[in-house]
Structure 1
Amino acid sequence: MKNILRIFILASFISLTSCESFLGDNVNPNSATSATPELVLPNALTSSANLFMNFHTSAMWINGYTVNAGGYGGWGATVTYNMTTTSYNGLWSATYDDLINYEYILNTTAEDPSLAYFNGVARVMKAFNYAMLVDVFGDVPYSEGLKGAANVTPTYDSQTEVYKDLVSQLNSAIDIFTNAKGANSLGSADVVFGGSVSKWAKFANTIKLRMLLKMAASSETSAFATTEFAAMNTTVGFMTEDAKVNPGYIATAGKQNPLWERYHSNAAGTLSGSGRSAIPSKYVYSFYNGTKLTDNARGPLTYRSFNNSTPTGQLGNLVDNPAALASQTAWFVGTGTGTNAVATNGLLKGRTAGFPIMLAAESYLLQAEAYMKGFLAGDDLKAFENGVTASFRYLYSDIAGALPAGVSLATQLATYKADNATSYLVNYNLASSQAEKLEAIITQKYIANNFVNGHESWADFRRTGYPKIVNGSANPNLSFASILSSSPRADKLPVRYLYASSEFQLNPENVPTGIDQFSSLVFWQAQ
């Protein structure tokens, strides 16, 4: 591992103090000498948003949310899945860079009760980041992974043991948020929930729920999950609103909403390369346009020119895919172009919009699964419909989170159910088995997380096999696998990422070998 603890903490401090005036001939404005948890936390959370986006967008190319548009080359492993150890170097290093921030906060607040809430947030975000890392890499440096210069060749910990300890970290965080007395407010350092520790507790509980559902699927960890479910603090509750990072995004280079920057335009108004070269897959589009389901509410809020001329394609089709929309990205439903682009709702709400790292829709659908399987006591039908409604709310809401005048979410849900009157994927009460109920829950989570959380949707597919695909089919409505796939699997998909080449160079004695992107399963995967 890199010796970056001191450097990164000071860099965090510098980025937060760069606008201050430095006086005196002997003061170097580029060399900060100290940092505090209060200064490091907002930078860490903002970095986590960028990190999450990279996990999300890399998975979107695997799980069917995005495919290559025509007229662009150099797709390589994106369409063949022939990954190398250099494919995800940046994702690996960026995760540890961000984790160093939280480790610093944990170390500097451990013996200071006044900073207990900062300690709690660091525990939550450490679990959030590490869980994403395990979900695509498996075993990772954990117990020795964040020691900086004290250990530059850390051992790899078992992925199951990492998950177990992360759940313990979340339990500790929830206890801090609910029982700490006399702790300082998070205040403006909290760029997610504005200082609300009760919302942080719900967020922690929801991340824990997500992790336990994965652990329950594995024989290695199912007993642990059962015990944790039985002891779960349901009084704290789960997320009922979207968790969004917003440090004060502005229409300036490098300071915009990161998804807007990547898929719409830069601060100068130039349409991004990603926005031009990516289009929706026919597979995901079929959940909106009547091929699989009809969704006349979320369709127009998700795709430009919905059900008329939205460009769609198939991953790996290098010849016949249409070009992207002129001057726009397929996911922008607002008006205007360049710096004059204005959005009121949808996915790309604006340059200054908060960036979601977990939707309330996912929270409700996680609950629906837990209730349906008997892990927790609750009404799975109600949670399911709350999840769909929350998805409507996210897309309809404007940049400030307000719904347009006259929009009734109850009416939208009723119309959606009526338009799909015979489908148990929408009308949950029509599901006649646990398998059908699970398919409905995961399919609706796939739709809700479309272009929001590709990482988790890919994890759900690997864990449950939903949404359904027809293995080996070249029909773009039946499978999202690339038609140029080199995978020997029946579904023609990869199951994980390969370890970074930097690990083989700097930590060769410890990095696992013999890992294959088509056969080396993460512990919670079904097959």
Structure 2
Amino acid sequence: MKNILRIFILASFISLTSCESFLGDNVNPNSATSATPELVLPNALTNTGNLLLSYHASAMWINGYTVNAGGYGGWGATVTYNMTTTSYNGLWASTYDDLINYQYIEETTAEDPSLAYFNAVAKTMKAFDYAMLVDVFGDVPYSEGLKGAENVTPAYDSQTVVYQDLVEQLTAAIDIFTTATGANGLGSADVMFGGNITRWAQFANTLKLRMLLKMASSSETSSFAATQFAAMNTSVGFLSVDATVNPGYIATDGKQNPLWQRYHSNAAGSLSGSGRSAIPSIFTYGFYDGTKILDTGRGAATYRSFNSNTPVGQLGNLVDNPAALASQTAWFVGSGSGASATATNGLLKGRTADFPILLASESYLLQAEAYLMGYLSGDDQDAFENGIYASFRYLHEDMTGAIIANNGDDYDLNDGYELYMEENPSNYLVNYSLASSTEEKLEAIITQKYVALNFVNGHESWADFRRTGYPKIVNGSADPKLSFASILSSSPRADKLPIRYLYASSEFQLNPENVPTGIDQFSSLIFWQAQ
């Protein structure tokens, strides 16, 4: 925790203490000793985007989105799942770094009604970060976790208790967003919604919905979830637009869209090693090429050389997997290469594109599940179809908001959606009305979320798989069309997959009295997981 506090101070240019020389006042006017919430918030939101990318980038190797390309070595635990306590040190530390930013905002605005919206944003984003942390680590330092130097050996709180309190914090945030009077606007500090408080309330409500659906899956928290669903303020609504951050990305290394920087190229145009060493899995590609679902519209907007020359393979195949495309990552569908790669639609839209935090497609599909299961009142089929439509919209929208095809022509979303239905006339995973049971409808919803979050949020779709078992795989199968588990897996589980991450080695060094022991990546379940 000492390292966390130090990194936070350096990252946010905030010092929580000041000192004076014994020679007298020795203040450097060019060195900040404090910062306002207005200055900290844009940095915190930008860091959250980078943090989410880290969660996504680690999970997408487990949930089937990416596999190792040929010609690259050093895969180790990526293909064997033999994780160690050093595997996720950075993820653990970075999460707490970001959380301390929001804690600072929350504490410094708590008694100032004029900054109520900043307080509510901090509550919301703390829930966002902590939920991700719990989803892969389980019990975490929470009640004592953000006290910095006051407590560098914080106790661990039960994951169920943490989730319950996060939901209550979201409720408090929503109440502030919807009832606060006399509060200053967020202004330019809000690099996610541009100061739109209604969208912040809907974002918090959507995040709350995501968490309650997980809690409803567990006997430990299902009663709490039921009570919260009954009291949910549905008049606030849920996200119908994509929640994205953009602090003003520019074509400079370290200041580009982080997805582009990591998987396409640096500002000079040199191709990213991360983008070159990863290729799509045969399993996931099957939801586009007709193996499981035919999806020519989103397939062409997701993969370069779709259905003809996209390199696809199987995780752990170190011999037969093809190499990545020679001049591009498989997820870039634009024109040009290197520094002249042209911004376009798809997933890697451009160097200065917004970074996705929570897509409207996920929001609609969360609603579909809640309506299907009777947790909330609504039309599950309508929400399901809206989720698919929103996914088409996200993939075909360029940085200017124009809806385009890969060749730059206008793209008609209605035509694209209708074609998708026509391509799959008897497939209940696409045509929801064909699903004959609640279980088939749930499978359709989670499968479509898996497709919508492809290469956007591997962390959340991996959570869905662990919670519901969808998208469906055949346990133990070595056929890459039937399972996304690595063929070099060391997992003793029937599905041959891991189910969580191990605690950071830094915790065993700095907080040995409190960090849980005996945790196993193949058997220590997160509370909302199925067996």
User: What does 1:229-248 align with in structure 2 at a 5 Å threshold?
Assistant: 229-248=229-248
Determine the C-alpha separation between the residues in 1 that align with 2:490 and 2:51. Answer: 28
Determine the C-alpha separation between the residues in 1 that align with 2:340 and 2:322. Answer: 26
Q: Does the 8 A contact of 1:464 with 1:526 survive in 2? A: yes
Describe the superposition over 1:206-225 as per-residue Cα deviations: whole angstroms up to 9, x where unpaired. 00000000000000000000
Output the amino acid matched with 1:167. Answer: V
Q: Which residue is equivalent to 2:67?
A: 67
User: What does 1:200-239 align with in structure 2 at a 5 Å threshold?
Assistant: 200-239=200-239
Q: Does the 8 A contact of 1:9 with 1:101 survive in 2? A: no
Output the amino acid matched with 1:502. Answer: S
Alignment of 1:434 with 2:458, yes or no, is no
Describe the superposition over 1:319-367 as per-residue Cα deviations: whole angstroms up to 9, x where unpaired. 1111110110000000001110013200000000000011000000000
Describe the superposition over 1:21-56 as per-residue Cα deviations: whole angstroms up to 9, x where unpaired. xxxxx7747732221101000000000000000001
Change over 3 Å in CA distance of 1:522–1:282 after alignment to 2: same
User: What does 1:147-158 align with in structure 2 at a 5 Å threshold?
Assistant: 147-158=147-158
Q: Does the 8 A contact of 2:7 with 2:97 survive in 1? A: no
Q: Which residue is equivalent to 1:419?
A: 423
User: What does 1:443-522 align with in structure 2 at a 5 Å threshold?
Assistant: 443-522=447-526
Determine the C-alpha separation between the residues in 2 that align with 1:407 and 1:125. Answer: 35
Q: Does the 8 A contact of 1:3 with 1:149 survive in 2? A: no
User: Cα RMSD over matched residues?
Assistant: 1.4
Q: Does the 8 A contact of 2:242 with 2:360 survive in 1? A: yes
Describe the superposition over 1:94-114 as per-residue Cα deviations: whole angstroms up to 9, x where unpaired. 000000000000110000000
Per the TM alignment, residue 67 of structure 1 is displaced from its structure 2 partner at its CA by 0.3
Determine the C-alpha separation between the residues in 1 that align with 2:393 and 2:11. Answer: 38
Determine the C-alpha separation between the residues in 2 that align with 1:476 and 1:229. Answer: 39
Q: Which residue is equivalent to 2:352?
A: 352
Per the TM alignment, residue 484 of structure 1 is displaced from its structure 2 partner at its CA by 0.1
Q: Does the 8 A contact of 2:4 with 2:93 survive in 1? A: no
Q: Does the 8 A contact of 2:88 with 2:504 survive in 1? A: yes
Q: Which residue is equivalent to 1:333?
A: 333
Output the amino acid matched with 2:2. Answer: K
Q: Does the 8 A contact of 1:333 with 1:343 survive in 2? A: no
Aligned length: 518
Q: Does the 8 A contact of 1:10 with 1:32 survive in 2? A: no
Describe the superposition over 1:120-176 as per-residue Cα deviations: whole angstroms up to 9, x where unpaired. 000000000000000000000000000001100000000000000000110010000
Q: Which residue is equivalent to 1:256?
A: 256
Output the amino acid matched with 1:320. Answer: D
Determine the C-alpha separation between the residues in 2 that align with 1:7 and 1:394. Answer: 35
Gap runs ≥5 in structure 2: 16-25
Alignment of 1:402 with 2:406, yes or no, is no
Indicate the SS of the match to 1:244: strand
Determine the C-alpha separation between the residues in 2 that align with 1:297 and 1:363. Answer: 21
Determine the C-alpha separation between the residues in 2 that align with 1:275 and 1:4. Answer: 29
Determine the C-alpha separation between the residues in 2 that align with 1:30 and 1:511. Answer: 40
Determine the C-alpha separation between the residues in 1 that align with 2:3 and 2:283. Answer: 44
User: What does 1:279-294 align with in structure 2 at a 5 Å threshold?
Assistant: 279-294=279-294
Determine the C-alpha separation between the residues in 2 that align with 1:4 and 1:209. Answer: 30
Q: Does the 8 A contact of 1:44 with 1:102 survive in 2? A: yes
Determine the C-alpha separation between the residues in 1 that align with 2:31 and 2:479. Answer: 58
Q: Which residue is equivalent to 2:373?
A: 373
Indicate the SS of the match to 1:356: strand
Q: Which residue is equivalent to 2:21?
A: none
Change over 3 Å in CA distance of 1:27–1:152 after alignment to 2: closer
Determine the C-alpha separation between the residues in 2 that align with 1:14 and 1:153. Answer: 22
User: What does 1:15-54 align with in structure 2 at a 5 Å threshold?
Assistant: 28=28, 31-54=31-54
Determine the C-alpha separation between the residues in 1 that align with 2:187 and 2:425. Answer: 47
Q: Which residue is equivalent to 1:199?
A: 199
Q: Does the 8 A contact of 2:345 with 2:395 survive in 1? A: yes
Output the amino acid matched with 2:248. Answer: G
Describe the superposition over 1:55-99 as per-residue Cα deviations: whole angstroms up to 9, x where unpaired. 011000000000000001000000000000000000000000000
Determine the C-alpha separation between the residues in 1 that align with 2:417 and 2:90. Answer: 41
Q: Which residue is equivalent to 2:391?
A: 391
Determine the C-alpha separation between the residues in 2 that align with 1:45 and 1:267. Answer: 23
Indicate the SS of the match to 2:2: coil
Per the TM alignment, residue 6 of structure 1 is displaced from its structure 2 partner at its CA by 7.0
Determine the C-alpha separation between the residues in 2 that align with 1:8 and 1:486. Answer: 37
Indicate the SS of the match to 1:297: helix
Q: Which residue is equivalent to 2:56?
A: 56
Determine the C-alpha separation between the residues in 2 that align with 1:97 and 1:366. Answer: 29
Q: Does the 8 A contact of 2:80 with 2:316 survive in 1? A: yes
Q: Does the 8 A contact of 2:14 with 2:34 survive in 1? A: no
Output the amino acid matched with 1:468. Answer: K
Change over 3 Å in CA distance of 1:460–1:386 after alignment to 2: same
Per the TM alignment, residue 3 of structure 1 is displaced from its structure 2 partner at its CA by 5.7
Determine the C-alpha separation between the residues in 1 that align with 2:6 and 2:440. Answer: 51
Change over 3 Å in CA distance of 1:56–1:11 after alignment to 2: closer
Per the TM alignment, residue 9 of structure 1 is displaced from its structure 2 partner at its CA by 4.2
Indicate the SS of the match to 2:528: coil
Determine the C-alpha separation between the residues in 1 that align with 2:3 and 2:261. Answer: 30
Q: Does the 8 A contact of 2:14 with 2:33 survive in 1? A: no
TM-score, structure 1 length as denominator?
0.97
Indicate the SS of the match to 2:342: coil
Per the TM alignment, residue 409 of structure 1 is displaced from its structure 2 partner at its CA by 1.6
User: What does 1:115-126 align with in structure 2 at a 5 Å threshold?
Assistant: 115-126=115-126
Gap runs ≥5 in structure 1: 16-25
Output the amino acid matched with 2:474. Answer: V
Per the TM alignment, residue 403 of structure 1 is displaced from its structure 2 partner at its CA by 1.2
Determine the C-alpha separation between the residues in 1 that align with 2:289 and 2:63. Answer: 19
Q: Which residue is equivalent to 1:267?
A: 267
Describe the superposition over 1:289-326 as per-residue Cα deviations: whole angstroms up to 9, x where unpaired. 01111001000100000000000000000011111101
Output the amino acid matched with 1:49. Answer: G
- Percent same amino acid among aligned pairs? 79
Determine the C-alpha separation between the residues in 2 that align with 1:169 and 1:480. Answer: 36
Q: Which residue is equivalent to 1:23?
A: none
Output the amino acid matched with 1:13. Answer: F
